[in-house]
Amino acid sequence: MVKITIIANGDFPTHPAPLSAIAEADYIACCDGAANACKAHGIVPDVIVGDADSISPALRQEWADKFVRIEDQDENDLTKTFNFVLQRFRNEQELHFYIVGATGKREDHTIANVALLMDYYDLLENQKLQATIIMMTDHGQFIPHSGKTVIASYKGQQVSIFAHDARNLKSTGLKWPIYDFKKYWQGTLNEALSDHFGIQAEGNYLVFLNY
């Protein structure tokens, strides 16, 4: 099992949950713009991936042996980093990806990064890898799912569900039963009734759990 944490160039986390994902990682991959924040917080990444347009010249020189330059303008640095790490560890038996620092600062980047999480999940599913992927913020975590699942929770936990391409959505253990949402916001602001809840659907959906 390999725990991989990717640090993106949004707001550097302050909540204990994403900070633990960094501290407990077996491998830390850093988008190039986040390298400056890593240095400021005393974190030494295993690799820095990007097009070199965000990292400071001094740090680029100091960590030259860690830098992987990818100049593909069709992908953002988060996707470049995820693809690099996936290729690096694809033969491992079990992979756990944690993405931190992907929200905050520019709202368009936040929306894009959350949307990309489903692309990464699709890629892991299509390659039939034994892998999980979670995006952690200072407020909660985004977790992609498909089909039928039971999610650990606690009574009163705030939950939002984004249907993505899922249909025939059903739930147990939530305050408001879910259905086939027609609009992206309709699955937000739900609430767990106990220490777990269940979702059943055809297709993929994204769950946000507030801490």
DSSP state of 164: T
Share of the chain above pLDDT 70, in %: 99
CB 161 within 8 A of CB 190: yes
pLDDT-flagged residues of the chain (< 50): none
Helix ranges (H only) for the chain are 16-23, 35-40, 57-62, 77-89, 107-126
Do 178 and 187 touch, CB atoms closer than 8 A?
yes
> pLDDT per residue over 55-111, tens digit each?
778 888 899 899 998 877 778 899 999 999 999 999 998 999 999 999 998 999 999
Same domain, 29 and 114: yes
pLDDT of res. 55: 77
Same-domain check for residues 132 and 162: no
Q: What is the pLDDT of residue 140?
A: 98
CA dist., res. 124 & res. 90, Å (int) = 10
Q: What angle do CA 160, 164, 166 make, to 5 degrees?
A: 100
Q: How far apart are the first and last CA of the chain?
A: 25
Q: Based on the fold, state whether residues 45 and 112 are members of the same structural domain.
A: yes
Do 173 and 126 lie in one domain? The reply is no
In the prediction, which pLDDT does 33 show? 86
pLDDT of amino acid 71 = 78
For residue 168, the domain's CATH number is: 2.60.120.320
Q: Both 33 and 107 in a single domain?
A: yes
Q: Are residues 47 and 134 in the same domain?
A: yes
| pTM for the predicted model, two decimal places | 0.94
Residues 97 and 188 in one domain: no
Q: Which residues contact 4 (CB under 8 A, 6 or more apart)?
A: 25, 26, 27, 28, 29, 85, 89, 95, 96, 97, 98
- 64 and 25, same structural domain? yes
Range of the domain at 20: 2-138
Looking at the fold, whether 150 and 96 belong to one and the same domain comes out as no
Report d(CA 96, CA 135) in Å as an integer: 11
207, 164 in Cβ contact below 8 A? no
pLDDT digits (tens, 9 = 90+) for 61-74: 899 899 998 877 77
Does residue 173 sit in the same domain as residue 121?
Answer: no
Q: How many domains does the chain have?
A: 2
CA dihedral sign, ordered 24, 29, 32, 33 = negative
